[in-house]
Chains A and B, each alone.
Chain A
């Protein structure tokens, strides 16, 4: 489904080229469960942003479902993000003024889906993630675990093919973190590919495929 060939990403800092990613070759199939581990600054997040089309490679090709997506314009890339990719962030990134239900609804609204259909889907997601009684609460009235569940519900609301999670347990205590990982792992059973960036080996070790990164390279 996803194929990265000789992908590099460099930044110009002053007159120096700094490489965040060097010659990455990676294949991800539907339903894959992949963890990316490595020290800070090793390029984990850059890789995730590239796969999520938030960033463009400096060189190399990125194919998604056989289509070269790096050549797409902003509008088309936004369309791909909307339909195929879900994000889960370390700091949840919920919109503070919107209720849990509205936050979950956000990608559906951005995609222009009708209000009736949105309502039905949000209802199902609230039930699936045990948030029915929290639907009208704003993020500041929710616990960390609940916030991340809202974020996962939001990320899956458009039925994405691939879920990108950047340190999803980083702001949670251990037991809540484990619950969140359980929820994410359950999604891989429904043929959603999961890419999990973490520097916690206990969490990364649970993945079926494990990537280790150092200085912008995949070491194994």
Chain B
């Protein structure tokens, strides 16, 4: 038989039992559609996190006090010592590295802010002028922390804090009280929502030294180090480690690159996408079983036709090919319908949640269609074999 004739004979026979064909296509398309939609969601979540990270700033290296051991315990823990603090001097020393372009120290505490009769609890972040650039933050009004006169009692308010304390009135130049000290408002942050645990909308940023006085401490929570370029990140990390080793006399800080954190999230979310896609793929194998069942019924319903085809000169292999082709056409049509369903679903989700970058990854689409075709054909092996091995004499008499 010629390939075109095989295809048209198979599609004729599919069309002659329309309800059965449509139901099988539906089962197949639900499976494919589920894979497409779920992997699109997983991939969307991954991209969302990746984007969030890069909005934090690029080429970042993070320095934390204390050393995280992967195994065993540090001597300091045995002696009941707390790790040595990171200081402003440590932070400034990091600038000696030629791979580092900027640094931004961070210290954090919580305090009460009040303006006139209004007051609330806020998170106070102590930092320097470079924080704005390093963290890619946006200023809505006024200016950010000054690069000189670090002891000046000035503060920059988060968008929400400003709104709660000042309403529609101007905040710039006003004096607010933080704990037992007074600060002059010099700027207001743009509204950027939550990013990696910090909601800048509900933050008050003050110079490091002011924060130290406010909270009566001297350490830094962490130092953000911006490398000069992407290629300079490993150098910056190495330099940070060696500079602090030289200053502290021991390795008592943890230096990680943003890429490492990002890569971890990336791995976790990719695994999640795969898992979700895999679960959806199970529904494809269920559709495969359905195809097998229906093909078996089709074989027993068409026993006479099979007998006739044999009498008219079709070899067993020809009969097998015909049934295979039917299953393949069915799976193909089903998976195409599933792709359309899936893409419509993805489109609807993208409309409903514009901030989530949902798109089905190409490998998932390929895998879904591939699995659909493979299960369809695989599960028709048995029915097709059964058809091919029918005894023509018995088949012709309809037994």
Chain A residues numbered 67-93 whose CB sits less than 8 Å from any CB in chain B: 74-75, 77-79, 81-83, 87, 89, 93
- CB atoms of B9 and A109 under 8 A apart: yes
- What per-residue 1/0 map shows which CB atoms of B9-33 lie under 8 Å from chain A? 1001101100000000000000000
Beyond A54-B393, A55-B393, is A110–B313 a contact (Cβ under 8 Å)? yes
Report yes or no: A109 in contact with B313, Cβ–Cβ below 8 A. Answer: no
Q: How far is the CA of A93 from the CA of B311 in the complex (A)?
A: 11
A168 within 8 A of partner (CB) = no
Q: Is B56 an interface residue (CB 8 A)?
A: no
Q: In the bound complex, do residue B2 and residue A112 qualify as a contact, i.e. CB atoms below 8 Å apart?
A: yes
The CA of A78 and the CA of B393, in the complex, are separated in Å by: 14
Question: Per a CB cutoff under 8 Å, which of B9, B308, B312, B316 touches A74?
Answer: B316
Query: B372-399 toward A: CB 8 Å interface, digit per residue (1/0)?
Result: 0000000000000000000011001000
> When the two chains form their complex, are residues B312 and A110 in contact, meaning their CB atoms are under 8 A apart?
yes
Q: Which A residues touch B9, using CB under 8 A?
A: 109
Asked whether, in the complex, the Cβ of B12 is within 8 Å of the Cβ of A81, the reply is no
- Nearest residue in B to A77 (C-beta to C-beta)? B315
A87 touches B312 (CB 8 A): yes
Verify A78–B396 contact, CB threshold 8 A.
no
The reply to whether B312 and A106 form a contact with Cβ atoms under 8 Å apart is yes
Bitwise interface map of A from 19 to 63 toward B, beta carbon under 8 Å scored 1, else 0? 000000000000000000000000000000100101100000000
CB distance from B374 to the nearest CB of A (A): 27
Question: Count of B residues near A, CB < 8 Å?
Answer: 25
Which A residues touch B308, using CB under 8 A?
Answer: 93, 95
With A109-B5, A110-B318 known as contacts, the answer to whether A78 contacts B305 (CB < 8 A) is no
A79 CB → nearest B CB, Å = 7
**Given A78-B318, A106-B312: A49 touches B393 (CB 8 Å cut-off):** yes
A78 with B314, Cβ < 8 A, contacts A55-B393, A93-B304, A95-B308 known: yes
Q: A89-B396, A98-B12, A112-B2 are in contact. Are A54 and B312 (CB under 8 A)?
A: no
- B315 and A112: CB pair below 8 A? no
B310 within 8 A of A: yes
Residues 73 to 128 of chain B near chain A (Cβ within 8 Å): none
Shortest CB-to-CB span from A62 to chain B, Å, is 15
* A52→B314 contact, CB < 8 A: no
- The answer to whether residues A54 and B314 also contact, given A95-B308, A109-B5, A110-B309 and a CB cut-off of 8 A, is no
A216: CB under 8 A from chain B?
no
Q: Tell me which residues from 293 to 312 in chain B have a Cβ below 8 Å from any Cβ of chain A.
A: 304-305, 307-312
* Docked pose: A109 CA to B314 CA in angstroms: 10
Q: Which residues from chain A contact B393 at a C-beta distance below 8 Å? A: 49, 54-55
Which residues of chain A from 93 to 143 have any CB-CB distance to chain B below 8 Å in the complex? 93, 95-98, 106-107, 109-112, 114
B318 to chain A, nearest CB (A): 7
B315 adjacent to A95 (CB under 8 Å):
no
The listed residue with most B CB atoms (<10 A of its CB), out of A83, A106, A110, A158, is: A110
User: Smallest Cβ distance from A92 to chain B, in angstroms?
Assistant: 10
Asked if B52 CB lies within 8 Å of chain A CBs, one says no
- Which chain B residue has the least Cβ–Cβ distance from A54? B392
A95-B305 in contact (CB<8A): yes
User: Do A81 and B313 touch across chains, with their CB atoms under 8 A apart?
Assistant: yes
* CB-CB under 8 A for A82 and B312, given A54-B393, A75-B317: yes
Q: Looking across the interface, which residue of chain A has its beta carbon closest to that of B13?
A: A97
- A149 within 8 Å of B (CB atoms): no
Report if A147 contacts B (CB, 8 A).
Answer: no
Residues of the A chain whose Cβ atoms lie less than 8 Å from the Cβ of B5: 109, 112
Check A83 against B313 for contact (C-beta < 8 Å): yes
Residues of A within 8 A of B352 (CB): none
CB pair B396–A93 under 8 Å, yes or no, is yes
Question: Is the C-beta of A217 less than 8 angstroms from some C-beta in chain B?
Answer: no
**B197 vs chain A, min Cβ distance (A):** 66
Enumerate chain A residues within 8 angstroms of B307, measured Cβ to Cβ: 93
Contact B313 A79 (CB under 8 A): yes
Interface: B71 (CB within 8 A): no
Cβ of B196 < 8 Å from any Cβ of A? no
Cα–Cα distance between A98 and B312 once the two chains are bound (Å): 15
Tell me whether B169 is interfacial, beta carbon within 8 Å. no
**In residues 306-333 of chain B, which contact A (Cβ within 8 Å)?**
307-318
Residues of A within 8 A of B309 (CB): 106, 110
Contact at A75–B315, with CB atoms within 8 Å?
A: yes
Name B residues whose Cβ lies closer than 8 Å to a Cβ of A.
Answer: 1-2, 5, 9, 12-13, 15-16, 304-305, 307-318, 392-393, 396
Using A78-B314, A109-B2 as known contacts, list a sample of 19 further A-B pairs with CB atoms less than 8 Å apart, ordered by residue number in A.
A49-B392, A54-B310, A54-B311, A55-B393, A74-B315, A75-B317, A82-B312, A82-B313, A93-B307, A95-B305, A95-B308, A96-B16, A97-B12, A98-B12, A107-B312, A109-B5, A109-B9, A110-B313, A114-B2
Q: List 20 A-B contacts (CB under 8 A).
A: A54-B311, A55-B392, A74-B315, A78-B313, A79-B315, A81-B313, A82-B313, A87-B312, A89-B396, A93-B308, A95-B305, A96-B16, A97-B12, A97-B15, A107-B313, A109-B1, A110-B309, A110-B312, A110-B318, A111-B313
Q: 7 closest A-B pairs (Cβ-Cβ)?
A: A82-B313, A78-B315, A97-B16, A54-B392, A107-B312, A81-B313, A75-B315
